Amino acid sequence: MKTLIIIPAYNEEGSIGSVIADIRRHVPEADIIVINDGSSDRTEEVAMASGARVLTMPYNVGIGGGMQTGYMYAKMLDYDVAVQMDADGQHPAKELPKLIGQTARYDLVIGSRYVKSTSYRSSRMRRIGMIFFSKLVTLLTRQRFTDTTSGFRAAGRKVIGLYASYYPIDYPEVESLVYLKRHGCTITEVSTEMQRRQAGRSSITPARSVYYMIKVTFSVLMSAMRYNRTAVIK
């Protein structure tokens, strides 16, 4: 399958090179594109020197805008599979075959930290948010999810087309699942290991975590309401 690894990156010069090298080691047949989201450091230079293609945004558009750009690129160049992967080294490339292999059966495959017990440990606040959103999406979609905030995902052609047309802007992982279920996509989770970021600091502070939970909850509920209204009209 023609596979594209999409890596959204903002000021990740300290880790992007090793992430690309790790991908080359485990899935050398895949193409890699780094969406350089208006970084002010050497992210673009390091990514290009490591052999990846780079699309540089004119300013910081956020994870949603960066990922939609990646999916538009995947659709334009007719990829069979597009994989979302973090630039900070949290997603080990050795886990990629697990995700890619399941795209023959499912439209979207999520790398989950909680399908089975893994070595991953998060802060208490983050774990509360993960549990909350997993239960919310499970309730709204009537499908059990364990890790709706995971940014480690493999998408088939149907999802590539849908995400190229629309992708939530701010903290999009949770809402994007409701969007896919609304369009009849099949989704599964596979157990994957994840690790601590290799360099830099996360942009999600405790204050932003609270903001994230409130904003995404409203977005997800509004998305579900729009779907229900459309279903009634039809």
pLDDT digits (tens, 9 = 90+) for 13-69: 999 999 999 999 999 999 999 999 999 999 999 999 999 999 999 999 999 999 999
Distance CA 108, CA 133 (A): 18
Among residues 178, 100, 172, 107, the alpha carbon closest in space to that of 141 is found at 178
pLDDT, mean of residues 84-103: 96
pLDDT score of 129: 75
CA angle 129, 135, 138 (to 5 degrees): 135
99-103, 107-111, 145-149, 151-155: range with lowest mean pLDDT: 145-149
Q: What length does the chain have?
A: 234
Residue 233 has pLDDT above 50, yes or no: no
**Confidence check: pLDDT of 202 > 60:** no
Sheet architecture: strand order including 187-191 = 53-56, 31-36, 3-9, 81-84, 153-155, 108-112, 187-191
Number of folded domains that form the chain: 1
Q: What percent of the chain has pLDDT over 90?
A: 65
Average pLDDT of the chain, as a whole number: 88
Residue 54 is part of a domain; what is its CATH number? Answer: 3.90.550.10
Residue 96 has φ and ψ, to the nearest 5°, of: -60, -45
pLDDT score at 27: 97
Using CA atoms in the order 46, 49, 53, 59, what is the torsion angle rounded to 10 degrees? 30
Q: What is the DSSP letter of 230?
A: H
Q: Which amino acid is at 197?
A: R
Looking at 48-52, 53-57, 123-127, 163-167, which range is the least confident one? 123-127
Can you tell me the mean pLDDT for 211-216?
A: 76
Instruction: Check pLDDT > 90 for residue 197.
Output: no
pLDDT at 150: 92
pLDDT over threshold 50, residue 231: no
- The torsion angles phi and psi of 35, rounded to 5 degrees, stand at -95, 100
Q: What is the pLDDT of residue 232?
A: 39
Over residues 157-173, the mean pLDDT reads: 91
Average pLDDT (89-97) is 95
Determine the structural domain holding residue 28 and report its residue range.
Answer: 3-233
